[in-house]
Amino acid sequence: MENVKLEIDGKAVEAAPGTTVLQAAKSLGIKIPTLCHDDRLEEYGGCRMCMVEIETKWGRKRLVASCVYPVEEGLKVQTSTEKVMRIRRMIIELLWPAWQLYAEEYGVKSSRFKTGMTDCSLCGLCLRYCSEIKKANVIYFRGRGVERKPALIEGAEMQCRACGECFTLCGSGWIASRC
Ligand code: FES
């Protein structure tokens, strides 16, 4: 299959079909911020931090999550328009205080929102790593909406402490604090 030709921030790039916009941007050295993405894990598309603005070859414009959106012929991608930056700032506020990784970069000093979350961004990295890489499946999401939070299966603390591989993936330190 032929490579797909597109443009990211005005730069032409070619990528194999199925490549995500995030991967294509990376190949150009263009940094798009991510929270729930990890190259070793299945695509997830949960946090929307990697949002970019696209324009299809038919002139249709919209916002998409670049970590799950595949490249398309003739696509024009803008990674840091005012609209995109506004959304990222809002996401940083919504996930506050769990993810302050990008707060300084985006000039966010505090959050206007009361999310009900104390320390977990619900990025799912720990439980996806536990399931996909370790095949241990000891972490899961419990509850819905603002009640949704990660949890360990009963008696898994020792096992988690002995493994600890997902601790570094967790921006909030939630998982390490529970083991
Ligand atoms: Fe793309 Fe989370 S990094 S949706």
Query: How remote is the CA of residue 130 from the centroid of ligand 1, in Å?
Result: 18
**Domain for residue 104, yes or no?**
no
Residue 25 burial class via C-beta count within 10 angstroms: exposed 0-12, middle 13-18, buried 19 and up: buried
Statement to judge: residues 90 and 130 lie in one domain: no
pTM (two decimals): 0.84
pLDDT tens-digit series, residues 99-153 = 667 878 888 887 776 654 456 888 999 999 999 999 999 999 999 987 888 899 9
pLDDT tens-digit series, residues 33-74 = 999 999 999 999 999 999 999 999 999 999 999 999 999 999
Statement to judge: residues 77 and 129 lie in one domain: no
Residues with CB under 6 A from ligand 1: 34-37, 45-50, 65, 67
Query: How remote is the CA of residue 155 from the centroid of ligand 1, in Å?
Result: 31
What is the domain range of residue 40?
4-94
**Domain for residue 112, yes or no?**
no
Statement to judge: residues 85 and 31 lie in one domain: yes
